[in-house]
């Protein structure tokens, strides 16, 4: 009787298996996979910019095992778990190439001020009085939760206590290029650049090789560090083969000051001391000459374009169209939420596409597909991780976002890139997968406690306000 | 027995009334009201820019009857219905000062093209082959649904079959200044400007005095109409005391062409023929001289600033800071979704605040409060409706939006205007009230059938694609 029942179940399973994806396949050569996503429009962002209608993606061991039409992928894989994504669009996880994640706790602490007033009256005192490891952990959790909700799967950070940021990032299951800040002033965690370099050494050695975390040094900027310190950081990075994240030419003042001090523009100066290479990530890069763009290309520097922050702080407009023509790797970044005021990559994509049309007086500049590329494969290139992320291609890590595409604001849609860039919002992100792990499903965060995070953030808000009034 | 029961009910009511707002008040001088909103932070947008913590709003006969602290309002009113808005923020309904609402059906039909190609290869053929009264009704319903979801309670429109748009707008319970397009080419509804003027006459007479609909003439632009036609439209508007909506100086080419033809810049030309007055609404107004801004102020013209559309089409940047310094009434508009690609006022507010910081090289330009004003009381002024809408003040129409303020992307918040402008999204809009009627409650549309609207829009999409391939 028992045997008969088992046999019956097998017969039913076999019968179903040829009909429905939910069970897998009758193909005896099919491969076992961990997760199968079926039915969506897949925007691959590979070199050919393929878009697969009614596609499927098989994920195994955290990687994209198979990507193709639904028929082929489901016939050749047997999944433990299936997500039906019919009517949805699947994109590579978004890459936020520049932020200071714990600064979400300073979101809107002050706005609309001269840069100097903003920094010296609000940001610096607020940091001096509030930033410690616990603060950084709370801010990181808040920022990670916001980023996951908006479909960001990889981010590049520069802040203090970066080891704690790495710890929180790994726990949340998010991918990060995380740089410990090195600056010539005493800051919350390290009181001298030498101490910061020593911290960075331990930090990089601890995290190198981690599947999610790429540890980095983050020298603050050419104008906030001595030449010798920059050389020491470069030597360390060469020795450890580690990434370096740095602010470059964010403001005209910085460009002019460096020019006055060194007789060179910022990128020329950095290049003259041998600082730039194919592991450098240069944020902002607003005030660049054509020659400096050529240097970026020649040295393999990745650039993080932050249109919102650059507009809000009136820094200027980075020469992104020229960088793209010259094939410099350009990604998009939110910058810290204190100057944005959120970590929403969708707004960066939309804004980048429109901003450069305005500054070039040409509506053909930065078409939707190219703008979307900056947030995915372009961002991956800028972070020097494009061999692992940034597109939906077999062999890459499974960093994926499933999008709702039936919001009123998205209806109707004619072209998928147009809809992604000009109509889709962070609130359309439904499910997020990083390294094969589902970190948000149907808008529910699975690796972070949203209500606890908000409660904690509001408590920090109160103590920040109190600290500034003292 | 019956009397005893009635008495019992009254005793219970009386006992409760002193404890909880839900029943009303024990004050025998209290006034009966239709709806009471309690517990929210109220951003009034009155001249003093008052913000009331733990406030309440009593609505009676479609109007704001009482606005104040929770204690005072609840003590003095007895409501049929109460909405607990504790922890929420209530703002005046947003005012979208420029759109072509049925064009949502052309959302993303093509992008990133030269203006001429975009118009002649896509927009004009798509309109010629698809626009009829049914199309306009379907598009209007879709656009209205999207606008309500985003907290827009009043919009200013310019399209064809405007009588059908007015009918759909009134049915959905939305407020509109709706202008029938008059242009020198044959269009979907009227084949000559004379026919359009006659249509406008009937249209205005039919709708004037309606509590929601302000009918208007919408001469397309100085460059698409003869001087005599503009004069006839002005004479009609003077006779009927009706609004006039017009595009002005959107592109440099238009400015130069008008200058060549008439020896005057567009606003100077319009003023020279006596066209401008305190019922004129001028969209875009990008290429204005200081003198033209002075003319706007002198004539009482309202201006509709459309930052997204002007960037996407590379039209330029309107001189908004100078207009505001000169106290010209400036509102914000999305323009049609074909050049945006949505009807999201939150993005216009955020973008306006940032765009003018960039163009003036000054992060103090257009601070959050001023940007938010452009979307509320400023927009009401630009539409010449500020005696009735745009702020939360007793006596005005009850056009209100209740916002969630606890999204991750809004957490924490320090200043309400900063959060509204730089962090809050359309998806944070929870409940929308227009003219005292709840049109969306807890994100559910009450006056429109969302799924039917989407289905219909997708059907139109298919037929638009087919029509363009013919």
Whether residue A55 contacts residue A69, with contact meaning beta carbons closer than 8 Å, is answered with: yes
Average pLDDT, chain A: 95
User: What three-state secondary structure class fits A293?
Assistant: helix
Instruction: Mark whether A310 and A441 lie in a shared domain.
Output: no
What is the pLDDT, as a whole number, of residue B28?
A: 78
- pLDDT at residue B446 above 50? yes
CB B413 to CB A107 under 8 A?
Answer: yes
What is the pLDDT, as a whole number, of residue B5?
A: 61
Q: What is the pLDDT of residues B297-337, one digit of tens each?
A: 999 999 999 999 999 999 999 999 999 999 999 999 999 99
Per-state percent for chain A, helix, strand, coil, to nearest 5: 45, 25, 30
What is the pLDDT, as a whole number, of residue A47?
A: 98
Q: Is residue B284 part of a domain?
A: yes
Q: Is residue A182 part of a domain?
A: yes
Whether residue B99 contacts residue B176, with contact meaning beta carbons closer than 8 Å, is answered with: no
What CA–CA distance (Å, rounded) separates B353 from B420? Answer: 12
What is the pLDDT, as a whole number, of residue B23?
A: 47
What CA–CA distance (Å, rounded) separates A410 from B42? Answer: 31
What CA–CA distance (Å, rounded) separates B74 from B70? Answer: 6
- pLDDT at residue A197 above 60? yes
Instruction: Mark whether B408 and B378 lie in a shared domain.
Output: no
CA-nearest of A166, A314, A210 to A253 is A314
User: Is the Cβ of B340 closer than 8 Å to some Cβ of chain A?
Assistant: yes
Instruction: Mark whether A106 and A207 lie in a shared domain.
Output: yes
What is the pLDDT, as a whole number, of residue A28?
A: 78
Whether residue B54 contacts residue B39, with contact meaning beta carbons closer than 8 Å, is answered with: yes
% of chain A surpassing 90 pLDDT? 93
Q: pLDDT tier at A2 (50, 70, 90 boundaries)? A: low
b/e sequence B389-402, b meaning 16+ C-beta within 10 Å? bbbbeeebbbbbbb
CB B314 to CB A465 under 8 A?
Answer: no
User: What three-state secondary structure class fits A232?
Assistant: helix
Instruction: Mark whether B237 and B194 lie in a shared domain.
Output: yes
Instruction: Mark whether B75 and B182 lie in a shared domain.
Output: no
**Cβ-based neighbour number of residue B414 at 10 Å:** 17
- pLDDT at residue A24 above 70? no
User: Is the Cβ of A253 closer than 8 Å to some Cβ of chain B?
Assistant: no
What is the pLDDT, as a whole number, of residue A198?
A: 98
What is the pLDDT, as a whole number, of residue B26?
A: 66
**Cβ-based neighbour number of residue A128 at 10 Å:** 12
CA-nearest of A318, A317, A255, A365 to B359 is A317
CATH number at residue A436: 2.30.40.10
Q: DSSP strand E in B239-354: where?
A: 243-248, 280-284, 302-305, 329-332
CA-nearest of B246, B162, B256, B151 to B200 is B162
User: What three-state secondary structure class fits A382?
Assistant: helix
CB A111 to CB B368 under 8 A?
Answer: yes
Whether residue B446 contacts residue B433, with contact meaning beta carbons closer than 8 Å, is answered with: no
Instruction: Mark whether B59 and B116 lie in a shared domain.
Output: no
Q: Residue with structure tokens 């002198």?
A: B298
Q: What is the pLDDT of residues B53-107, one digit of tens each?
A: 999 999 999 999 999 999 999 999 999 999 999 999 999 999 999 999 999 999 9
**Cβ-based neighbour number of residue B8 at 10 Å:** 10
- pLDDT at residue A3 above 70? no
Q: pLDDT tier at B29 (50, 70, 90 boundaries)? A: confident
Q: Which of the residues B119, B409, B460, B461 would you substitute to probe the A interface, choosing the one with the greatest number of A C-beta atoms within 10 Å? A: B409
- pLDDT at residue B25 above 90? no
CA distance B54 to chain A (A): 18
What part of A 138-177 touches B (C-beta under 8 Å)? 142, 145-146, 149-150
- pLDDT at residue A11 above 60? no
Q: Is residue A14 part of a domain?
A: yes
What is the pLDDT, as a whole number, of residue B7?
A: 55
Q: Is residue B461 part of a domain?
A: no
Q: What is the pLDDT of residues B204-256, one digit of tens each?
A: 999 999 999 999 999 999 999 999 999 999 999 999 999 999 999 999 999 99
CB B108 to CB A317 under 8 A?
Answer: no
What CA–CA distance (Å, rounded) separates A133 from A152? Answer: 24
Instruction: Mark whether B87 and B98 lie in a shared domain.
Output: no
Average pLDDT, chain B: 95
Instruction: Mark whether B352 and B286 lie in a shared domain.
Output: yes
CB B454 to CB A362 under 8 A?
Answer: no
What is the pLDDT, as a whole number, of residue A34?
A: 98
Among chain A residues, CA nearest to B312: A354
**Cβ-based neighbour number of residue A36 at 10 Å:** 28
Mean pLDDT of the region A403-415: 97
Consecutive H or E run containing B401: strand B400-403
CA distance A282 to chain B (A): 21
Among chain B residues, CA nearest to A445: B408
- pLDDT at residue B376 above 90? yes
Q: Is residue A278 part of a domain?
A: yes
What CA–CA distance (Å, rounded) separates A317 from A315? Answer: 7
Q: Residue with structure tokens 């632009």?
A: B221
Q: pLDDT tier at B14 (50, 70, 90 boundaries)? A: very low
Long-range contacts of A260-267 (CB under 8 A, 24+ apart): A261/A223, A265/A289, A265/A291, A265/A292, A266/A222, A266/A223, A266/A292, A267/A292, A267/A295, A267/A296
CB B115 to CB A363 under 8 A?
Answer: yes
What CA–CA distance (Å, rounded) separates B397 from B399? Answer: 6
The β-bridge partners of B309 are: none
Mean pLDDT of the region A137-153: 98
CA-nearest of B425, B372, B378, B434 to B403 is B425
- pLDDT at residue A58 above 70? yes
Instruction: Mark whether A51 and A81 lie in a shared domain.
Output: yes
Instruction: Mark whether A185 and A103 lie in a shared domain.
Output: yes
Tokens of A34: 């961990």
What CA–CA distance (Å, rounded) separates A124 from A133? Answer: 17
Mean pLDDT of the region B151-163: 98
Phi and psi of A53, rounded to 5°? -85, 145
What is the pLDDT, as a whole number, of residue B15?
A: 45
What is the pLDDT, as a whole number, of residue B24?
A: 52
What CA–CA distance (Å, rounded) separates B384 from A93? Answer: 46
What would the DSSP string read from start to end of B168-215?
A: HHHHHT-EEEEEEEE-SS--SS-SSHHHHHHHHHHHHHHHTT-SSEEE
Whether residue B89 contacts residue B43, with contact meaning beta carbons closer than 8 Å, is answered with: yes
What CA–CA distance (Å, rounded) separates A403 from A425? Answer: 10
b/e sequence A285-312, b meaning 16+ C-beta within 10 Å? bbbbbeebbebbeebebbbbbbbbbbbb
What is the pLDDT, as a whole number, of residue A19?
A: 41
Q: What is the pLDDT of residues A275-309, one digit of tens each?
A: 999 999 999 999 999 999 999 999 999 999 999 99
CA distance B167 to chain A (A): 21
Instruction: Mark whether B191 and B117 lie in a shared domain.
Output: yes
Task: Using an 8 Å CB-CB cutoff, list chain B residues near A419.
Answer: 108, 341
Instruction: Mark whether A138 and A123 lie in a shared domain.
Output: yes
User: Is the Cβ of B308 closer than 8 Å to some Cβ of chain A?
Assistant: yes
Q: For the whole model, what pTM was predicted?
A: 0.94
What CA–CA distance (Å, rounded) separates A275 from A271? Answer: 6
- pLDDT at residue A443 above 70? yes
What CA–CA distance (Å, rounded) separates A150 from A373? Answer: 17
* Helices B227-240, B193-207: inter-axial angle, 10-degree rounding: 10
Q: What is the pLDDT of residues B104-131, one digit of tens each?
A: 999 999 999 998 999 999 999 999 999 9
What is the pLDDT, as a whole number, of residue A25?
A: 61
Q: How many domains does chain B have?
A: 2
- pLDDT at residue A426 above 60? yes
Q: What is the pLDDT of residues B243-273, one digit of tens each?
A: 999 999 999 999 999 999 999 999 999 999 9
Q: Residue with structure tokens 């009381």?
A: B377
Give the dihedral of Cα atoms A448, A450, A451, A452; nearest 10 deg. Answer: 40
User: Is the Cβ of B273 closer than 8 Å to some Cβ of chain A?
Assistant: no
Q: Is residue A388 part of a domain?
A: no
Mode of pairing for the β-strands spanning A280-284 and A152-159: unpaired
Whether residue A436 contacts residue A153, with contact meaning beta carbons closer than 8 Å, is answered with: no
What CA–CA distance (Å, rounded) separates A159 from B468? Answer: 52
Give the dihedral of Cα atoms B5, B10, B15, B21; nearest 10 deg. Answer: 130
Q: Is residue A469 part of a domain?
A: no
CATH number at residue B236: 3.20.20.140
Q: pLDDT tier at A18 (50, 70, 90 boundaries)? A: very low
The β-bridge partners of A305 are: A332
Residues 6+ apart with CB under 8 A from B195: none
Q: What is the ipTM of this complex?
A: 0.94
Mean pLDDT of the region A309-325: 98
CA-nearest of A86, A57, A146 to A404 is A86
What CA–CA distance (Å, rounded) separates A464 from B412? Answer: 11
The whole domain housing A427 covers 2-92+398-445
């Amino acid at each position: 009787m028992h045997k008969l029942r088992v046999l019956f179940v097998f017969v039913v399973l076999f019968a179903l298996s040829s009909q429905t994806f939910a069970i897998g396949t009758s193909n005896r050569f099919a491969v076992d996979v961990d997760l199968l996503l079926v039915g969506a429009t897949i925007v691959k962002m590979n070199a050919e910019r393929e878009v697969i209608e009614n596609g499927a993606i098989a994920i195994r061991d955290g990687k994209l095992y198979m990507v193709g039409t639904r028929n082929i992928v489901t016939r050749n894989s047997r999944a433990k778990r299936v997500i039906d994504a019919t009517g949805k669009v699947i994109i590579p996880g978004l890459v936020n190439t520049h932020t200071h994640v714990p600064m979400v706790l300073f979101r809107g602490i002050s706005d609309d001020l001269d840069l100097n007033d903003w920094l010296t009256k609000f940001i610096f005192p607020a940091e001096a009085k509030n930033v410690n490891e616990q603060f950084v952990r709370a801010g990181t959790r808040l920022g990670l939760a916001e980023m996951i909700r908006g479909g960001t799967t990889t981010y590049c950070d520069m802040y203090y206590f970066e080891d704690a940021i790495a710890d929180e990032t790994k726990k949340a299951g998010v991918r990060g290029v995380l740089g410990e800040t090195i600056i010539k002033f005493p800051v919350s965690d390290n009181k001298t650049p030498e101490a910061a370099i020593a911290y960075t050494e331990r930090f990089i050695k601890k995290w190198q090789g981690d599947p999610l975390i790429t540890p980095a040094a983050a020298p603050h900027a050419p104008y906030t560090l001595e030449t010798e310190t920059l050389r020491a950081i470069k030597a360390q990075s060469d020795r450890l083969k580690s990434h370096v994240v740095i602010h470059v030419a964010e403001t005209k003042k910085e460009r002019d000051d460096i020019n006055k001090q060194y007789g060179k523009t910022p990128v020329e100066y950095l290049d003259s001391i041998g600082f730039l290479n194919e592991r450098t990530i240069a944020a902002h890069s607003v005030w660049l000459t054509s020659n400096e763009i050529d240097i970026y290309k020649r040295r393999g520097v990745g650039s993080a374009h932050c249109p919102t922050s650059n507009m809000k702080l009136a820094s200027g407009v980075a020469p992104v169209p020229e960088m793209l023509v010259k094939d410099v790797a350009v990604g998009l970044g939110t910058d810290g939420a204190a100057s944005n005021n959120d970590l929403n990559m969708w707004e960066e994509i939309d804004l980048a596409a429109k901003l450069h049309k305005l500054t070039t007086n040409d509506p053909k500049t930065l078409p939707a597909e190219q703008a979307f590329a900056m947030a995915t494969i372009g961002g991956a290139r800028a972070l020097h991780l494009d061999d692992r992320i940034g597109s939906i291609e077999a062999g890459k890590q499974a960093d994926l976002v499933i999008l709702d595409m039936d919001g009123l604001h998205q209806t109707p849609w004619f072209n998928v890139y147009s809809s992604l860039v000009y109509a889709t919002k962070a609130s359309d992100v439904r499910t997020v997968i990083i390294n094969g792990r589902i970190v948000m499903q149907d808008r529910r965060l699975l690796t972070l406690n949203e209500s606890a995070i908000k409660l904690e953030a509001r408590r920090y808000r109160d103590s920040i306000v109190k600290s500034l009034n003292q």
